[in-house]
Structure 1
Amino acid sequence: MDSCPECNALTAWTADRCFVCHSDLGAPNRRLVNQQHEREALEQRYQAAVAEAEQRGVKQALAAFEASITNDSRAIINTSAYFLYGLLDSENQLYANYRQQTASATRKVAELINDRQRCSTESELFGTLAPELLYGALTLDNKGLVSYGKCAMILKDITVRRKATVLEENSYDFVKRHDIRAFDPLPVGYWTDWPNRAQLAVAKLATRIQSDTKDFASVLLFSNGDRAQDQFIEIHIYGSLDRQAIAEVALPTKKNWESLEFLDRALLEKIEAQAKCYDITCSNYD
């Protein structure tokens, strides 16, 4: 169990407040990834990646990639036009994850195979904490994972700074690749907190950086509409968020609207108007 830094009382690993003095313990997912053995394992992977890049003569390019992640990467969540419109339309609307939506009967449960995969994956990694986490991706542009929706919400840095963690890849792929079972310890060095996201990106992607690599955005995230082919660093955000957490919404360019259904086109126009009303940047992607 964890100890409260204020009163030294023992508290649960899933708690964000001390049971005794109510001191803020921070987001529990962030405390998990900041355990000493996790930090040391990631540091070893990072140093090995930097050393390998130096041997290949691409250390300078890798340093530029790391600086880009540190300074420019953001958290992005893709969704449908309908869902985004609803979130922007009400000051009381909260963004909810799959488990929260199914538990509150606001959406249907996915097909059995997909429901089992999602719930078992979340449980393997996060146990009881799973229902409290929202999922996103790390991006250097405004397109995001189009396989999850053509509209994207880019979150304010302050929204994720203290309550987001990053995992090297999609949770399902991570659990499958490492053959993680409920009774197994989790592999270490593959996730970290938001301020250290660049270290994880370097550890994962250094081998893809060449001396002439300029398109860091494509190295960091790939999505062509097929979830099975998505490649990205996954973000886990503790707690809820509303429209105030959104810094920017990204929509398809208008030349691509003709291929959309009439309702979607109408919703995109409304989303543009909403963004302007709430002082949210509205951008487009090809």
Structure 2
Amino acid sequence: MTSSTITRLQRTAYTSSRAARELGLKRSEFDLAVHLGRIRTVPDEGGGGRRIARSEVDRLRATDGFPDSLRERVRLVGTTEGAKVMDIPVGRFTRLARLGLFSPVRFYLNRYRAVVWLYLADELAEFATVAENRPLLTARRMPESLRDLLDEGVDLRARNWRGRHRGFLLRLAQDPWESAGVLAAFLDPVRLAELVPDPYERSRLSRFRPAPPAHGVPATPAGQLVEKIMTADDPAETAWLRTELARALEDARRFRPAPRPAGRQAPSVPPAEEPAPREPSRGLLGWLRRRSA
């Protein structure tokens, strides 16, 4: 989308609050619809953030069953209600969620600082209608391979939430440094320092590092728990993040080197280990190609 097209759209665009009112959504429902890509937005270059074109609002208002159909598509349910949607016991629902067979889209901490995962009701309903999934819902016992995973303590809910949240943040990134900041937000500080030894580049990443979901003040027990959920702890996920961050940093350095005091030279950076040969990137162009892919 060209800058002139974005400017033209902005002239006929709503703020998020106005668009939510026009669509009959609570602000939390609206934000989730944007998160899921069900409401398209354009950059607000005047004041930062995002705006919603009037044509997008008109498109949604013209859909069958509006506004109830739109509201149903962003309806969130917890474990008990989710089990009712799928018509299975609560215990089986929890086991399926731990196995990563469906993914939470949000979470919050209750007053006991226990994590409460929230799921999309329509995704759960769709899962229950797929014929291949019926044995998981109705069989007296789960397959032995899945029972073994549960006995080992597998719980993929946090990892799957991170994947969804990371995808949302990457879709909003507008340049390679923003993408790199998003990826860095899911690595713990020790791993990040190993991967990015240059303090000026780490400072640049911190500028674009998105904050964790607002579920507790940092350094409090609640805030520390949210940070733990936000930080990758699965070896495969961590390896993927390291590789993607290395690639994003290559693009970011070509696009715009991290600012540093006059006379300071950027340290030489060894090439990142990569799983397979790839087409050389050229800063913003390489980032845009991978982003569109």
Relative to the length of structure 2, the TM-score reads 0.26
Which structure is higher in helix share? Answer: 2
Which structure is higher in strand share? Answer: 1
The structure number with the bigger radius of gyration is 2
Relative to the length of structure 1, the TM-score reads 0.26
Larger relative contact order (Cα-Cα within 8 Å, sequence gap ≥ 6): 1
